[in-house]
Amino acid sequence: MPVDDDYADDDYVDGNALAGELQELFAVDVTIAVGECAHCGRQAPMAETRVYTRAPGTVVRCRGCGGALLKLVTAPHARWLDLSGLARLTIRAPEAAAG
């Protein structure tokens, strides 16, 4: 469904407002983040997943049910990241992870 630029809600800013927060978020060790499988609900650190690298990209699978959690394809001009197999990814703040 297309979004109309004349939409009456003026309580927003454009996507550029995400730059700082997402740069901070993705500049962490994601292997210690806890992922929740969208297929079976298993919650575990990403370091406990099964990673397959012989495909055209990288496929990360749930150790519980084998469902694909994450797919990453890297090319010289772009990267594609599919997180549709994760219901949630919890990344703790650095100070919380250290304590």
- Domain extent at residue 45: 15-98
Residue 35 belongs to a domain: yes
- Number of folded domains in the chain? 1
State how beta strands 78-82 and 68-75 pair: antiparallel
How many whole angstroms separate alpha carbon 63 and alpha carbon 50? 6
Provide the pLDDT confidence category of residue 61 given band limits of 50, 70 and 90.
Answer: very high
Query: Which residues, at least 6 apart from 62, have a Cβ–Cβ distance to it below 8 Å?
Result: 37, 39, 40, 42, 49, 50, 69, 85
Q: What is the mean pLDDT of residues 80-94?
A: 92
CA-based angle 25:83:19, to the nearest 5?
Answer: 30
pTM of the model: 0.77
Between residues 23 and 37, which one has the greater pLDDT? 37
Between residues 2 and 52, which one has the greater pLDDT? 52
Q: What is the pLDDT of residue 96?
A: 62
